[in-house]
């Protein structure tokens, strides 16, 4: 399951996998505006890795990647927002250089949500602008629901409110089929074996595909999308999101039906902005970084202006 998936993702990174644009990871964190750092998360005892840009003391912008990525998927946003924010891109539990506990129960949603709370406090902050993509978007929604005092603004890329996803997938077999690769990863040992054949040839091909990034590239990144069904095992006392929220959606995401984006509106009890980009894929913040960055700036500044008024 998830443990198998993150293990082969870590092995791939260890073998020197380059990012989607072919940039080697070596040196990415060595420039004057980048810092690769680690710290011990107090409650879990795990060592988390992150990359930071921007001065300490500025408002915190915390970035949560999807599957099977790591901090590198936010490289464009690290550069863009460092002027006004302390921007921190994590390697989530089990990914990249962050510790990977071996047992399946270590990857339950309540553990992942608690990680973000502990990380925020470990960084010396009590609130942040929280941004999540894909699986990281699911975590971002749940952090905003469970710890609303810690999230000033919420920005999610290509993942609906968790209640929307749960209800929608039960009523729409088409979405269940599109998310069906999740079940492949529930098999013991076979998925890992398949993706390691021929020196990870299949994996590298999927991850290195170039835009328009249709089925091949987005297939692997969405295979664990149905991990979000774990919300069945995480009963929510309430579902409402009370902070200003921006939802960005690439319409060419072949594995997440766009109808879920509009339904999400009913769960946000504050200003909600939805922008659907017709030419963008699931990998929105990498596919069209300039447009995404501009939309995020607009949202952040209009919310600041709205607050002053």
Domain boundaries, the chain: 2-18+26-300
Tell me the pLDDT tens digit for each residue of 118-132: 999 999 999 999 999
Tell me what pLDDT residue 196 has.
Answer: 76
pLDDT at 269 over 90: yes
Tell me what pLDDT residue 220 has.
Answer: 34
Tell me what pLDDT residue 27 has.
Answer: 34
pTM score of the predicted model: 0.79
pLDDT at 39 over 60: yes
Mean pLDDT of the chain: 78
> Poorest-confidence range of 33-42, 52-61, 68-77, 295-304?
33-42
pLDDT at 217 over 60: no
Closest CA relative to residue 254, chosen from 217, 298, 229: 217
Tell me what pLDDT residue 189 has.
Answer: 66
Backbone CA torsion sign across 271, 77, 280, 18: negative
**What is the rounded distance in angstroms from the CA atom of residue 112 to the CA atom of residue 13?**
21
Query: For the residues 25-35, what does the mean pLDDT come to?
Result: 48
Q: Which two tokens stand for residue 165?
A: 């996803």
**What is the rounded distance in angstroms from the CA atom of residue 149 to the CA atom of residue 179?**
32
Higher pLDDT, 106 or 260: 260
Selecting from 3.10.180.10, 1.10.10.350, 3.40.50.1820, 1.10.8.50, what CATH number does the domain 2-18+26-300 have?
A: 3.40.50.1820
């Amino acid at each position: 399951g998830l443990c198998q998936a993150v293990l082969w993702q870590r092995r791939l990174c260890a073998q020197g996998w380059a990012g989607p644009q072919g940039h080697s990871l070596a040196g990415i964190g060595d420039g004057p505006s980048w810092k690769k750092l680690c710290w011990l998360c107090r409650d879990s005892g795990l060592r988390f890795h992150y990359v930071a840009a921007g001065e300490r003391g500025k408002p915190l912008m915390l970035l949560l990647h999807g599957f099977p990525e790591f901090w590198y998927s936010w490289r464009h946003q690290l550069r863009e927002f460092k002027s006004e924010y302390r921007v921190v891109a994590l390697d989530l539990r089990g990914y990249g250089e962050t510790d990977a506990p071996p047992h399946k129960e270590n990857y339950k949603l309540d553990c992942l949500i608690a990680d973000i709370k502990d990380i925020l406090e470990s960084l010396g902050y009590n609130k942040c602008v929280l941004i999540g993509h894909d699986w990281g978007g699911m975590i971002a929604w749940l952090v905003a629901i469970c710890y609303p005092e810690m999230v000033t603004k919420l920005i999610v890329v290509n993942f609906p409110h968790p209640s929307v996803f749960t209800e929608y997938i039960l009523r729409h077999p088409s979405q269940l089929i599109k998310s069906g690769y999740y079940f492949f990863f529930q098999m013991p040992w076979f998925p890992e074996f398949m993706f390691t054949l021929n020196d990870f040839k299949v994996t590298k091909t999927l991850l290195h595909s170039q835009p328009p990034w249709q089925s091949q590239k987005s297939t692997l990144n969405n295979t664990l999308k149905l991990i979000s069904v774990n919300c069945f095992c995480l009963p929510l006392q309430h579902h409402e999101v009370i902070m200003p929220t921006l939802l960005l959606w690439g319409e060419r995401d072949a594995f997440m039906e766009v109808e879920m984006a509009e339904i999400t509106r009913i769960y946000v009890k504050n200003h909600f902005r939805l922008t659907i980009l017709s030419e963008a894929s699931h990998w929105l913040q990498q596919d069209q970084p300039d447009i995404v960055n501009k939309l995020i700036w607009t949202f952040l500044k209009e919310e600041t202006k709205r607050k002053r008024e």
